[in-house]
Structure 1
Amino acid sequence: MAEQTEVDLINRDPNNLNDHVKVMFEDVLGEPEGAHSADCVWRNSYKCFNCGKSCCYKFLTYLCGILTALCWGCNFACITFEHIWCITPFLRVWAIYLGCMQKFLGQCYNCCVSPFCEACGMFFSNIRVVNSSG
């Protein structure tokens, strides 16, 4: 797996993972016709919303971003370790055991159930249905 040498500082969500949290002022507040506040209130509300959202987000990322990223990195490292060293080998062992069980049950079916099914098939194959009117 090739690793990135530099982080993209322009497009920080290239896979659009967080499109659902793109919240703009117009997505939250809207004044219908006949219920307009003064223009200066609306204009300053717009500025306060964007400034508050931006400042709060930046503050939270400064406060928690690096440690949260470290925790998520460790979490995904543990998941990767678990899959490589525990789950995948276990699934391989399980597949081996189930392969043997499949052969065993297949032989039991061929010996015990198949003759019965063949006999029923022969019995029912001799039934003739005639459709007569009147």
Structure 2
Amino acid sequence: MDIDMHNRDPNDVNSNVRVSFDDVLAEPEGAHSIDCVWKLSYCCFNCGKNCAYRCMTFFFGICIAFYWGCEFAAIAFEQIWIVTPMLRVFAIYCGSCQKFFSIIINCCMAPVCQTCGLFFSQITVNHGEGGGQRSF
């Protein structure tokens, strides 16, 4: 796989940390510094930001990248070799439990529910002229 040296964030993962001079420092109308101060501030901001970032990545970037590579390898290993097989075992056991409870409910609860259904199906309500007589 080739590395794109120009677009280093093709998936826009770090769009929230795009920081430029205009995002941090701004002078509203009526409060302007001298033009040379504003221009030098721009240069100092960019120089400081770029130098500090490059120094930190030079000293720590490779080690941190190695750490995150190992971390994501461990996560992939856990998902492939531990979590997915455990979920499959859990699904098998749940299928057995589902059959077990289905048999119990069909044996114990179904006759009771059918009897109640037959009992209550025999109830009739008559709204006659006598003020709503009910016969059972």
TM range (shorter): 0.7 to 0.9
Structure 1: how far apart are the matches of 2:36 and 2:114?
88
Q: Distance in 2 between matches of 1:105 and 1:92?
A: 20
Q: CA deviation at 1:124?
A: 4.5
After superposition, the CA RMSD in angstroms is: 1.7
Deviates more, 1:31-40 or 1:114-123: 114-123
Which of the pair has the greater relative contact order for Cα pairs under 8 Å at 6+ separation?
Answer: 1
Report which of the two structures shows the higher radius of gyration computed on alpha carbons. 2
For structure 2, the 5+ residue unaligned runs are 128-136
- Confirm whether residue 38 of structure 1 aligns to residue 41 of structure 2: no
Q: How many residues align?
A: 126
- After superposition, residues 1-134 of structure 1 pair within 5 angstroms as 4=1, 6-125=2-121, 126=123, 128=125
- Tell me, what secondary structure is at the counterpart of 1:31? coil
Q: How far, CA to CA, are the matches of 1:65 and 1:15 in structure 2? A: 20
Q: Deviations over 1:47-66 (max 9, x none)?
A: 11111111110000001011
How far residue 122 of structure 1 moved from its aligned partner, in angstroms, is 4.0
Per-residue deviation, residues 75-124 of structure 1 (Å, max 9, x unmatched):
11111111111111111111111110010011111122223333444444
Between 1:111-120 and 1:96-105, the stretch displaced more is: 111-120
Q: Determine what percentage of the aligned residue pairs are the same residue.
A: 56
Q: CA deviation at 1:127?
A: 5.7
Alpha-carbon spacing, 1:127–1:65, altered in 2? closer, same or farther (3 Å):
farther
Aligned AA for 2:109? V
> 1:63, 1:87 → 2: CA distance?
36
One-letter code aligned to 2:110? S
- Distance in 2, Cα, partners of 1:9 & 1:114: 69
- Report deviation, 1:73: 0.5
Deviations 1:10-39 (CA, angstroms, capped at 9, x unpaired): 111111000000011111111111111111
- Structure 1 gap ranges (5+): none
